[in-house]
Amino acid sequence: MELIKVEIKKLLKKKSTKVFLILYGIILAGITTVALVAELVFGLALYHGAGFIGAVLATMMGFLLPLMTIYLSSSSQALDMTRKTMKNMYLLPISRTKLYISKIAAVQFITAAVLGIQFVVVLAANLAINGTDLAGLVGVAVDHIGAFLILGLVNIIGNALTLLVRNTGLVIILAYVGFVGLNLLAMYFPAVSTVAITTLLSGYAGCLKR
C-alpha cells in the first residue's frame, strides 16, 4: 500500500497532471453549467430521472477519460525513466511485478477519484434539474463501475506501451493513431471490431447515451 501511495504522490506532483485534472474539471463544470442554464433558465426538458448523470459519463468516456487514463499510465512509467530512478527502484526489496502493479493501482486510484467526484458533482446538478426524481440512479452508478473497469484495461495498455517506447508523448500519439486506425480498419474489416479496444470504448459510450 505504501508503494501505491508513493506512486500517487509522484503523479499528483507533476505540473502536467495538475493541468490535465484542472482542464478536466473546467470541462465538467462547463457541461454541468450549460445543462443547468438550459433546464432552469430556458425551461428545456433535456433529461429525466438520473439521465443527466449518464449523459455526462457517456460524453467523458467518449474520449477524455480514456485520454486521461493513457496519459496517467504512461506518466507513471515515464516519470522514473526520465529521472533515471527506475534502476534504483529495481534495487529495492520489491519484485518488478509488484512495482508494475503499484503503478497500475495508483492510476486506477486517481481514475476512481475522478469518477467519484464527477458522480457527486453531476448528481448535485441532477438534483437541481429534476429534484428528487432519480429514476435509474442505481443503473447509472453501475455504469460508473463499468467505466472504471474499462479504463483499467486502458491503464494496463498504456503502461505496457510505455515500457516499450519509454515516452509519454509518443504513447499518447500512438494511442490516438491506434484509436483512429482501428476504427478505420473496423469499417472495412468488421472482424477487427470484435477484438479492438476502440470498439469497447465507443460501444460502451454509445450504450450510456441510450
Q: Show pLDDT as tens, one digit a residue, over the chain (210 residues).
A: 788 998 899 899 989 899 999 999 999 999 999 999 998 888 887 778 788 888 899 889 878 898 899 889 888 877 666 655 555 555 566 777 888 889 999 999 999 999 999 999 999 998 888 887 777 888 889 889 988 998 998 899 888 888 888 777 777 787 777 766 666 666 666 654 444 455 556 555 555 655
Contact between residue 6 and residue 18 where contact means Cβ atoms under 8 Å apart:
no
Q: Provide the number of structural domains found in the chain.
A: 1
Contact between residue 73 and residue 151 where contact means Cβ atoms under 8 Å apart:
no
Three-state SS for 141? helix
Per-residue pLDDT at 175: 73
Closest CA to 52 of 27, 34, 26: 34
Q: Which domain holds residue 164?
A: 2-209
Per-residue pLDDT at 75: 85
What's the burial of 92, exposed, middle or buried (CB within 10 Å: 0-12/13-18/19+)? exposed
Per-residue pLDDT at 164: 82
Per-residue pLDDT at 25: 95
Per-residue pLDDT at 194: 44
Three-state SS for 66? helix
Per-residue pLDDT at 210: 55
User: Whole-model pTM above 0.75?
Assistant: yes
Under DSSP, the state recorded for 93 is: S
Contact between residue 100 and residue 182 where contact means Cβ atoms under 8 Å apart:
no
